[in-house]
Amino acid sequence: MIPLSVLDLSPIVEGSDAGQSLRNSAELARHVEALGYKRFWMAEHHSMPGIASAATAVALAYIGSQTSTIRIGAGGIMLPNHAPLIIAEQFGTLESLFPGRVDLGLGRAPGTDQAAAYAMRRNLASDANQFPNDVVELMAYFEGESGRVRAVPGEGLDIPIWILGSSLFGAQLAAMLGLPYAFASHFAPQMMMEAIALYRERFEPSDQLDDPYVMLGFNAIVADTDEEAQLLASSVQQAFVSLRTGNPIKLPPPQPGYADSLPMEARAILRSVLSASAIGSPETARRELDEFVHRTKPDELIVTAQVYDSRARLRSYQLLMDAVRQPETAEAS
């Protein structure tokens, strides 16, 4: 059975607010911890009315306090938005509070549009080129090799660092530094196979990792029937179309027949962007997940489910884990 983890965007749904979304995230974290999911990651996004995890380290502190065994982490921290020392201190604090449970995934995108990026950073000129240097600087703080400036908490703590990406850049950097690699195939699958191959071919062992390790993002919305799951999925479809047209929104309620109502070109874009997905009954989801794993051969999947109703979201994660475990249970009996 391939390890399954959770990527939670802490969706703010229509008619609700960020506080309720974060409480829903805590409930989800407790739920998937009990089900046996390996990690619970949250993502940094800014100026997005439908995402409550902008202050990612703060949100993770809350999730850590509500759980006891599941790994918690960032999927990811958009490092160009921050000074490496600040992230070392924040995640050093998390690791000090929740020892042996914290991951730090790093990305080089802003997680927002240019206006919000400028509001955070003031200067956008050299951020992309600076990212590898910032990663190395951040690692030095944890290793206690940063000179006179020290990260306290942070220094000397064992916090696994991951490189995130949706292109070949992140794959090359993760391979060069000998770090695990997480690919954003749940919304940008176009370069997935090429990036995986490049990462594995060029991987150089490090103190953190002896062999390459690939985790792939994957959409999974599971319900009792294919029709019900497709209806639930219409929420994320609406949100994605709005985002692509420059109008990010709160996660809307399901809309029957939404995808079929779109122009053919828009439907094709949705199918392409959300191709790393399992949407359907447990049997359908298991088949689609197996096909994806057979084709991509990841070491782990990190699953996201943008579902309007929090009860349906909890049930989706349970049905998925039950479906994945079914052959294992049959063999045991």
Distance from C-alpha of 79 to C-alpha of 129, rounded to nearest angstrom: 12
Q: Does the pLDDT at position 167 exceed 60? A: yes
Backbone angles phi, psi at 268, to 5 degrees: -65, -40
What 3 state SS string does 13-58 have? ECCCCHHHHHHHHHHHHHHHHHHCCCEEEECCCCCCCCECCCCHHH
Q: How confident is the model at residue 189 (pLDDT cuts 50, 70, 90)?
A: very high
| pLDDT, position 128 | 56
215 closest CA partner among 160, 140, 136: 160
Distance from C-alpha of 195 to C-alpha of 270, rounded to nearest angstrom: 21
| pLDDT, position 125 | 52
**Average pLDDT taken over every residue of the chain:** 93
Helices (H), 205-281: 226-244, 258-261, 264-273
The residue type at 118: Y
| pLDDT, position 111 | 61
Q: Does the pLDDT at position 132 exceed 70? A: yes
Q: Tell me how far apart the terminal alpha carbons of the chain are, to the nearest angstrom.
A: 16
Distance from C-alpha of 23 to C-alpha of 32, rounded to nearest angstrom: 14
Q: Does the pLDDT at position 332 exceed 90? A: no
Structure tokens belonging to residue 4:
């399954």
Q: Which residue has the higher pLDDT, 331 or 316?
A: 316
Q: Does the pLDDT at position 112 exceed 80? A: no
| pLDDT, position 35 | 98
What is the percent of the chain with per-residue pLDDT over 70, rounded to a whole number? 95
Q: Which residue has the higher pLDDT, 114 or 30?
A: 30
Span 25-71, pLDDT tens digits: 999 999 999 999 999 999 999 999 999 999 999 999 999 999 999 99
DSSP letter for 251, please: B
Span 261-310, pLDDT tens digits: 998 888 888 888 888 999 999 999 999 999 999 999 999 999 999 999 99
Q: Does the pLDDT at position 124 exceed 60? A: no
Q: How confident is the model at residue 330 (pLDDT cuts 50, 70, 90)?
A: very low
**Contact, 75 vs 164, CB < 8 A?**
yes
Q: Which structural domain range is residue 216 located in?
A: 4-332
3-class DSSP assignment, residue 33: helix
Q: Does the pLDDT at position 210 exceed 70? A: yes
What is each CA distance from 138 to 42, 66, 71, in whole angstroms? Answer: 20, 28, 20
27 closest CA partner among 17, 44, 40: 40
Question: What is the rounded average pLDDT of the residues 80-90?
Answer: 95
| pLDDT, position 30 | 98
How many structural domains are present in the chain? 1
What is the percent of the chain with per-residue pLDDT over 90, rounded to a whole number? 81
Q: Does the pLDDT at position 155 exceed 70? A: yes
3-class DSSP assignment, residue 227: helix
Indicate the range of 57-71, 103-117, 232-246, 313-327 predicted with least confidence.
103-117
Question: At 50, which CATH number?
Answer: 3.20.20.30
Distance from C-alpha of 66 to C-alpha of 40, rounded to nearest angstrom: 12
